[in-house]
C-alpha cells in the first residue's frame, strides 16, 4: 500500500515536472529549439491525441485525422490569404468546415469497426490528399503560403514564444476537455459502444450516431492542430497531409500508446527529436521510424505508456486484468 502511494506520488511529480518544463521551454531553451521541437511536439501531439481519443474512447483507429487536419489548414489558408478574412474568423470557419467534413466521414465509416474502419479512413485520407493536390482552388501541389496568425500570437517565425504558449494552452484545454468528457453520459456511452456495440444496440442506444459524434469530436481536435500548424509554419501544402504524414501521425500515436491520451505528446516528442537530430546522422530517418514502430508493435502494442503501465503494475504488485488493448484477439472480444 505504501509502495503504491509512493508510486502515484512519483507519477504525479513526473507529470508535473514535464508540464513545468513545457511551460518554461521558451525561457530555458533556444528559439530554435522552441520552434523546431517544442511547437511541433505540441501540434503534432494534438493530431495524435485525436487518434488516441478515438482509439481509446471510441475503439476507432482512424487514419483520417491528418486529412481533417489538412481540411482545417487549407480552409484557414484560403480564407485568410485569398479572401483576407480576419484570422480568428477564418480559424473559426475552418474548424467548422473540418468538423462538418468529420461528421460526414464519420457517418459513412460508422457502420464499420476495427480493420474495416482503418481501411475506410485510410481511403478518406488518401482521397483528401489527392483532392488538395489536384484542385487549383487550393493551390494544387504548391499549397498556400503566407498565412499570418492573429496579432495576439505574434510572428511565429522570428518570435515563436507567443504561438508556443497559445498552442500549449490549446493542448492543456483539449486534455482537460477529454478527461471531462470521459465521465459524461456521452463519454460513457461511447466507451460502452467501444466495448460491446451489440449489447449497446440491444439496450436501445444509437451506435452509429454515437460513433459519428465521437468522430466529429476527434475532427475538432485534429482541426485545432491543423490551425496551429498552419499558423506556426505560415503555410500548408498537400505534402503535409500525404500518406507518409498520415502514417507518421499514426506512428506517433502508436509509439506513445493508443490508450493513454498523454501518450500522444510523448510519441510526438520521440518522433520530433528523431526527426530533428537523427537526420544529421543518417538520411534514413523514415526507416528508423518504421523500425521503432515495428518494434513497438511486436514488443509492446500499447507503446511507451503501455511499458510504463506494465512497469508500474509490477512495482505496485498489482495483477488486475489489463484493460482492453490491441493484444486482445478480436474473436475473444466478440
Partner 1 sequence: MRLPVVPAHVRRLAGPVVGFGVLAFVLAWVAYKAFGGGFGSQGSLPTFLIVLLNGLSLAGLYFIIASGFTLIFGLMRVVNMAHGSLYLLGGYIAWSLTAHHGFGFWPALVTATLVGGCVGLLMHQLLLRWNLGQDLRQALITIAVSIILADQMLVHFGGIAETISPPGGLAQSVQLHVYGLQYPAFRLFVLGAAVVLAIALWAGIRHTEFGVLVRAGVDDRWMSSAVGTNVQLVFGVTFFIGSALAALGGVFGGTMLSLAPGQDSTFLLSSLVVVIIGGLGSLVGAALGSLLLGLVEQLSTIYLPSGYTNYSIVLTFALLIVVLAVRPAGFFGGVR
Residues found near partner 1 in the complex (CB under 8 A): 61, 108, 111-116, 118-120, 122-123, 126-127, 130-131, 134-136, 184-186, 189, 204-206, 209-210, 213, 242-244, 247, 250-251, 254, 284, 286-287, 289-291, 293-294, 297-298, 301, 326-332
- Helix, strand, coil percent content, the chain, rounded in steps of 5: 80, 0, 20
CB closer to partner 1 out of 126 and 177 = 126
CB closer to partner 1 out of 86 and 328 = 328
Minimum distance between the CB of residue 285 and partner 1, rounded to whole angstroms? Answer: 8
C-beta atoms surrounding 103 within 10 Å = 15
Minimum distance between the CB of residue 209 and partner 1, rounded to whole angstroms? Answer: 4
CB closer to partner 1 out of 67 and 266 = 67
In whole angstroms, give the CA distance from residue 193 to residue 21. Answer: 37
Say which DSSP state 99 is in. H
Q: Which of 252, 254, 259 is nearest to 274 (CA)?
A: 252
CB closer to partner 1 out of 280 and 329 = 329
CB closer to partner 1 out of 171 and 213 = 213
Which residues in 63-92 are b (16+ Cβ under 10 Å) and which e? bbbbbbbbbbbbbbbbbbbeeebebeebbe
Q: Which of 58, 17, 43, 36 is nearest to 221 (CA)?
A: 43
CB closer to partner 1 out of 156 and 218 = 218
CB closer to partner 1 out of 290 and 323 = 290
Minimum distance between the CB of residue 110 and partner 1, rounded to whole angstroms? Answer: 10
Minimum distance between the CB of residue 26 and partner 1, rounded to whole angstroms? Answer: 33
In whole angstroms, give the CA distance from residue 114 to residue 123. Answer: 15
Minimum distance between the CB of residue 141 and partner 1, rounded to whole angstroms? Answer: 12
CB closer to partner 1 out of 105 and 164 = 105
In whole angstroms, give the CA distance from residue 43 to residue 265. Answer: 9
Minimum distance between the CB of residue 1 and partner 1, rounded to whole angstroms? Answer: 35
Phi-psi region of 190 (alpha: psi -120 to 50; beta: other; left: phi over 0): alpha
Backbone φ, ψ for residue 64 (5° rounding): -90, 0
CB closer to partner 1 out of 15 and 119 = 119
Minimum distance between the CB of residue 334 and partner 1, rounded to whole angstroms? Answer: 11
Which residues are within 8 A (CB) of 261 and not within 5 positions of it... i.e. 6 or more apart? 49, 52, 53, 56, 175, 178, 179
- Given a contact cutoff of 8 angstroms between Cβ atoms, the answer to whether 202 and 192 are in contact is no
Which residues are within 8 A (CB) of 288 and not within 5 positions of it... i.e. 6 or more apart? 274, 278, 282
Minimum distance between the CB of residue 135 and partner 1, rounded to whole angstroms? Answer: 5
In whole angstroms, give the CA distance from residue 280 to residue 112. Answer: 43
Minimum distance between the CB of residue 137 and partner 1, rounded to whole angstroms? Answer: 9
Amino acid at each position: 500500500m505504501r509502495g503504491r502511494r509512493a508510486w502515484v506520488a512519483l507519477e504525479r511529480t513526473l507529470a508535473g515536472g514535464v508540464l513545468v518544463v513545457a511551460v518554461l521551454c521558451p525561457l530555458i531553451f533556444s528559439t530554435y529549439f522552441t520552434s523546431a521541437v517544442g511547437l511541433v511536439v505540441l501540434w503534432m501531439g494534438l493530431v495524435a491525441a485525436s487518434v488516441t481519443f478515438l482509439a481509446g474512447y471510441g475503439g476507432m483507429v482512424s487514419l483520417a485525422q491528418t486529412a481533417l487536419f489538412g481540411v482545417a489548414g487549407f480552409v484557414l489558408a484560403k480564407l485568410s490569404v485569398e479572401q483576407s478574412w480576419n484570422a480568428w474568423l477564418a480559424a473559426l470557419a475552418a474548424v467548422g468546415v473540418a468538423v462538418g467534413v468529420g461528421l460526414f466521414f464519420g457517418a459513412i465509416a460508422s457502420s464499420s469497426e476495427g480493420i474495416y474502419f482503418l481501411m475506410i479512413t485510410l481511403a478518406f485520407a488518401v482521397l483528401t490528399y489527392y483532392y488538395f493536390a489536384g484542385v487549383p482552388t487550393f493551390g494544387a501541389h504548391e499549397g498556400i503560403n503566407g498565412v499570418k496568425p492573429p496579432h495576439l500570437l505574434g510572428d511565429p517565425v522570428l518570435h515563436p514564444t507567443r504561438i508556443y504558449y497559445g498552442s500549449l494552452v490549446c493542448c492543456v484545454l483539449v486534455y482537460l476537455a477529454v478527461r471531462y468528457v470521459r465521465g459524461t453520459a456521452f463519454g460513457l456511452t461511447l466507451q460502452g459502444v467501444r466495448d460491446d456495440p451489440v449489447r449497446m444496440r440491444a439496450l436501445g442506444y444509437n451506435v452509429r450516431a454515437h460513433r459519428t459524434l465521437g468522430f466529429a469530436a476527434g475532427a475538432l481536435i485534429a482541426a485545432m492542430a491543423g490551425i496551429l500548424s498552419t499558423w506556426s509554419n505560415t503555410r500548408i501544402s498537400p505534402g503535409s497531409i500525404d500518406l507518409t504524414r498520415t502514417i507518421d501521425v499514426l506512428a506517433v500515436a502508436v509509439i506513445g500508446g493508443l490508450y493513454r491520451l498523454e501518450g500522444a505528446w510523448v510519441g510526438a516528442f520521440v518522433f520530433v527529436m528523431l526527426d530533428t537530430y537523427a537526420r544529421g546522422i543518417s538520411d534514413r530517418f523514415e526507416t528508423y521510424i518504421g523500425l521503432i514502430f515495428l518494434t513497438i508493435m511486436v514488443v509492446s502494442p500499447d507503446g511507451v505508456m503501455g511499458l510504463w503501465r506494465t512497469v508500474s503494475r509490477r512495482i505496485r504488485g498489482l495483477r488486475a486484468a489489463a484493460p482492453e488493448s490491441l493484444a486482445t484477439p478480436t474473436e475473444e472480444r466478440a
